[in-house]
Amino acid sequence: MTLALEGVRVAHGAHEVLHGVDLTVARDELLVVLGPSGAGKSTLLRAVAGLTPVSAGRVAIGERDVTRLRPGQRNVAMVFQSYALFPHLTAAENIAFGLIVRDVPKAAAAERARQAAASVGCGHLLDRRPGQLSGGERQRVALARALVREPDVFLLDEPLSNLDAELRVEMRAELKALHARVGGATLHVTHDQVEALVLGDRIAVLRDGRIEQIGTPDEIWSTPATTFVARFVGSPPMNLLPADGPLPGLAPPGRLIGIRPGALRLGSEGAVASVERVEVVGEDAHVYLRLGEHSAVARIPSAERPATGSETHVMARDADVHVFDPTTGKRV
């Protein structure tokens, strides 16, 4: 089933949080909504789930207009950041809960819960209560609870953010594999750009309640539509410099040029720069440079890093330059 949002607006009192969002998630597509804190990501999911009313616009699942339906009538399953498991129920009871309240006979619900648990690797935890589970295990139970209902749409609200770094990477891969197996239109919210790039079939970048760009991870990375997207995706962020600044000749004067840290070349050619600071991050070094009144950061192999306080030269290839309008921030 597809999920379609058309001109969706949500207001909390006088404060409008979503200003007309258009978005389509294809059947079996995993679309990641990526944006900073406060952009309206959770609000967007809650509007699709029916937990927050929309003030204008339309939400459709397949052919059904669900805009005015109650959450229980929409056939969507949501996984919350906090997992929202019932502490007094076992994992099995938590997973089966949504079936029991829909009058699925107990034995059938238990069997489906067992299958869902097995498919996300928590089949051995069914008798435990949430308090006896680790964060990663709770996460699996929450996923099984979403899966068991066989919903038309999956809504995942920062499901990996409470896990430690190692587990997050592991669960990210599992989530991707699970989606490939199970399918279903999936809207996955995160503020983590790496998660978005790794997981998403497409990414919608949300900023202040508006979608700034929708595209495949490759499109978002290679052709960011605005300076906001360019700097939000990529770490350290893309350097932005005036076209007639320290690296002239790469774009017409009056534009902004964007160059990713990994695309800046340090050596004996190009603009003179002083090395203000060097951060070594494993194999990489982030070299913070001063170019007159401007600054930039280069990412280079740490074995080749210059010393703090030394002088170097910087250049970039034409092919690595992104050009933006300084007034609108849009790519030109």
Q: Which two tokens stand for residue 282?
A: 């494993």
Contacting range for ligand ATP; rule: CB under 6 A; set: 40-48, 104-112, 115-123, 224-232: 40-48
Q: Check residue 7 for interaction with ligand ATP (CB under 6 A).
A: no
Judged by CB under 6 A, the chain residues 158 through 197 that form the site for ligand ATP are 191
Q: Which two tokens stand for residue 310?
A: 């030394």
Which residue, 71 or 123, is less far from ligand ATP as judged by CB?
71
3-state DSSP call for residue 250?
coil
Which residue, 29 or 158, is less far from ligand ATP as judged by CB?
158
Instruction: Choose, by CB under 6 A, the member of 23, 35, 230, 260 that binds ligand ATP.
Output: 35
Which residue, 37 or 268, is less far from ligand ATP as judged by CB?
37
3-state DSSP call for residue 253?
coil
CA-based nearest residue to 149, from 188, 182, 175: 182
Q: Check residue 38 for interaction with ligand ATP (CB under 6 A).
A: yes
Q: How far is the CB of 35 from ligand ATP (least distance, A)?
A: 6
Instruction: Choose, by CB under 6 A, the member of 29, 30, 42, 203 that binds ligand ATP.
Output: 42
The number of residues that bind ligand ATP (CB under 6 A) is 12
Q: Are 279 and 300 in contact (CB under 8 A)?
A: no
Which residue, 41 or 149, is less far from ligand ATP as judged by CB?
41
Q: Check residue 17 for interaction with ligand ATP (CB under 6 A).
A: yes
Q: Which two tokens stand for residue 278?
A: 């060097």
116-155 burial code (b ≥16 CB/10 A, e <16): bbebbebbebbebbbeebeebbbbbbbbbbbbbbebbbbb
The DSSP 8-state label assigned to residue 66 in this structure reads -
Which residue, 15 or 181, is less far from ligand ATP as judged by CB?
15
Q: Check residue 245 for interaction with ligand ATP (CB under 6 A).
A: no
Q: How far is the CB of 256 from ligand ATP (least distance, A)?
A: 26
Q: Check residue 14 for interaction with ligand ATP (CB under 6 A).
A: no
Q: How far is the CB of 31 from ligand ATP (least distance, A)?
A: 15
Which residue, 17 or 95, is less far from ligand ATP as judged by CB?
17
Judged by CB under 6 A, the chain residues 44 through 83 that form the site for ligand ATP are none
Which residue, 187 or 298, is less far from ligand ATP as judged by CB?
187
**How far, rounded to the nearest angstrom, does the alpha carbon of residue 187 sit from its chain's CA centroid?**
10
Instruction: Choose, by CB under 6 A, the member of 40, 50, 136, 200 that binds ligand ATP.
Output: 40
CA-based nearest residue to 92, from 43, 148, 30, 8: 148
Q: Which two tokens stand for residue 189?
A: 């919210």
Q: Are 226 and 324 in contact (CB under 8 A)?
A: yes
Amino acid in position 114: R
CA-to-CA distance for 232 and 190, rounded, in angstroms?
13
Q: Are 91 and 141 in contact (CB under 8 A)?
A: yes
Amino acid in position 10: V
Q: Which residue ranges make up the site for ligand ATP (CB under 6 A)?
A: 12, 15, 17, 35, 37-43, 191
